[in-house]
Chains A and B, each alone.
Chain A
Amino acid sequence: MDYFIQQLINGLTLGSIYGLVAIGYTMVYGIIGMINFAHGDIFMLGGFAALIIFLILTSFFAGIPVALLLLLMLVVGMLMTGLWNWTIERVAYRPLRGSFRLAPLITAIGMSIVLSNFIQVTQGPRNKPIPQLVTDVYHLGEISISLKQILIVVITSVLLFAFWYIVNKTPLGRAQRATEQDRKMAALLGVDVDRTISITFVMGAALAAVAGGMYLMYYGVASFNDGFIPGVKAFTAAVLGGIGSLPGAVLGGLMIGLIESLWSAYFTIAYKDVATFAILAFVLIFKPTGILGRPEVEKV
């Protein structure tokens, strides 16, 4: 039982990270109906920003408090990836809005290839290890919870609350929801659709950057191709929860994290990704709109 709870905690941590990335996928899909394939690489860029800020700060201010260091890593990562995603949307997706369905998907895949190769070329192909930032571990009987796991879950919860507040309680969130429901009507009613979509991309990127920074903190290593597998899993999470649904993305992320850690614990670790993908396939086959997704109405 202790072992089970331990795995539950590990899964929850991992799931929080996937959930944060999944929100970016689901928001973009909800608002303009495209799979932003480059989102996983935005997550990777966020991790790299955190890594570089970590190196700079620790070399200038040796005794910097860990909390401040972590905060700066995450905030700079958010600004960085927000800027990147804003530019990417502006350059690669906006001109193709209203073009045929596959065009933005292809530029998104191209963008994903560009981003990971850009980092490979500028920062080198090797894995980048950093020392452990947070090392405290608490023991509750047989169960051990590390401080970084608590941090990840707490930061995720805070961000989710802030995010929920923005989407549901502010004029910006109202504009986003209006654009999602009917872009043309929203524009007629005075919503600046282009700006709303840009802000959506920036928000998604900021959440992904936090996830990237926490991923770096959790595993202590960054690599240029870190974007793909976590990206696909986060997208799986978004689809699992019902793409377009924000609570669904979080729920899907947590489920993917739990499935992954429980499968690794009780079956073979080698096939943990196979399990994730297989469950995705099963869910979609029996409930194609995901767990919390609205059923699509077919119109002739």
Chain B
Amino acid sequence: MASPSENTQSGLMAKAVKEGIFAGAIAFGMFLLYVGIETYQDIDNRLVWRTRWGLLAIFVLVAAVGRFLTVGFIKPHIDRRKLAKAKSGVLEISEDKGFFHKHFLKIALIALLLYPIGSVMLFGPQGSLKYVDNFGIQILIYVMLAWGLNIVVGLAGLLDLGYVAFYAVGAYSYALLSANFGLSFWILLPLAGILAAMWGIILGFPVLRLRGDYLAIVTLAFGEIIRLVLINWTDVTQGTFGISGIAKASVFGIWSFDVGSPNYFPRAMGLATSSAWYKIFLFYVILALCLVTAYVTIRLRRMPIGRAWEALREDEIACRSLGINTVATKLTAFATGAMFGGFAGSFFATRQGFVSPESFVFLESAVILAIVVLGGMGSLTGIAIAAVVMVGGTELLREMEFLKLIFGPDFTPELYRMLLFGLAMIIVMLFKPRGFVGSREPTAFLRERKAVSGSFTKEGHG
């Protein structure tokens, strides 16, 4: 395709300059109104505008220079590397793995178990709060949610855009039942899971005939319906005010984390009074819940039902011809996925102590689905890595106080959190459309398990 003259260095440069100028012109057109002009309300509350040519110039320059560098330097470099790789003839997935790669799961698990202890030792109980709660628990909740959704999307291949509905069902089940009946977390956790699973069946049943994008839009609609009902059914859910003062979880009913109670856990253990111990306890609870999810997923994949899910994902018609009951298969996938969403929801409620419909917007569903797909659908390790990168990365932005020194005191990194999250979603997808884990290990195999490149399967891990 490339003519000989373009292969020469000067031809390449000319092309890069041309593309750079073109990109700059496009960027100028795109950002002229939205960046070049700022609208704001003046003292009389009237909408007025002012220009921001400097900022516009930066945007245009970044686009032009970025395009120039990409065409002129980065792309030829990548092409050369690809060519060299193809010439050397090494397969992309090699069988011999390094020590770290081989024992990755064990290392990760040990690191997770030691994580709260380490952060307490390094930063003291109060200082560890940030690391255990904002990073540890937050990421693990998303890992759990993504693993739950993975059963529906990654294994059964049913595109669900309303997963957050089950999360909401779990959270509100715990909040309402504990407030009205005084039941403990350990009774309500399974109950929330069961209730969410029931909702999974209720919502799953009518949409079984739908496939692909139709299924996606109906699940999105169901997610929105549940959120709107939570907002509007004020007698029960208190609407947008939400439910606050949700009971804390106890250590299996033996010790409590309420400072006033006689069997206050840190006192019983001889520790200083701090809310950090509760967060550390919660960290281990969500870690255990995640491990249960992973274990169940791995076991289910080896059972007939799990194989039926994966078969359904690859070819529904073939499944039906082979006598697989597609209705039951889809419903179990929906219910199982929803159940884990419910578990995560009730955990979320007890961790926050407050639930409101604001936490269950469509964006959450999108984030969870993005984690599943970015991780390489079906791969538990990949999804966990994706959750760490995407959620941890955006949480990290909250911590970047030093950016204020560069951009001035008015700069709030949180504002850019979702913007960067969206950009990261696009960039990861463009460069690794099969997700972080690109290879697939089959569940069922003859004699020897061989990993194949993701592009050989329709979608998913198996």
Contact = CB atoms under 8 A, between A and B. Distances in A.
Same assembly? yes
Contacts, number: 174
A35 B30 contact: no
Interface in A76-131: 76, 80, 83-84, 87, 92, 95-96, 99-103, 105-107, 109-114, 117-124, 126, 128-130
Interface residues of A, number: 65
A76 B210 CA distance: 40
26 contacts: A35-B217, A48-B33, A51-B39, A80-B29, A92-B426, A100-B459, A103-B429, A103-B433, A106-B373, A106-B425, A109-B370, A113-B418, A121-B415, A122-B38, A232-B220, A232-B221, A232-B362, A236-B221, A239-B214, A243-B213, A270-B231, A270-B232, A274-B232, A278-B221, A284-B217, A300-B317
B318 to A, nearest CB: 7
Nearest to B226: A274
Contacts of A111: 422, 426
B221 A277 contact: yes
A107 B224 contact: no
Given A55-B39, A118-B419, A281-B221, A129 B210 contact: no
Contacts of A136: none
- Give the most central of A113, A117, A128, A243: most B CB within 10 Å: A113
A288 B419 CA distance: 35
A59 B42 CA distance: 14
B84 interface: no
A161 to B, nearest CB: 29
Contacts of A243: 213-214
B433 A128 contact: no
Contacts of B214: 239, 243, 284, 288
Contacts of B38: 122-124
A128 B39 contact: yes
Top 3 nearest A-B pairs by Cβ distance? A110-B425, A113-B422, A114-B422
A300 B318 contact: yes
Given A35-B216, A110-B423, 10 more contacts: A35-B213, A48-B33, A51-B39, A100-B433, A102-B159, A106-B373, A110-B421, A112-B366, A114-B423, A130-B47
Interface of B: 26, 29-30, 33-35, 37-41, 47-49, 153, 159, 206-207, 209-210, 212-214, 216-218, 220-222, 224-225, 228-229, 231-232, 317-318, 362-363, 366, 369-370, 373-374, 377, 415-416, 418-419, 421-426, 429-430, 433-434, 458-459
A124 B42 CA distance: 13
A84 to B, nearest CB: 6
Give the interface SS of chain A, mostly helix, strand, loop or mixed: helix
Contacts of A106: 369-370, 373-374, 425, 429
A124 to B, nearest CB: 6
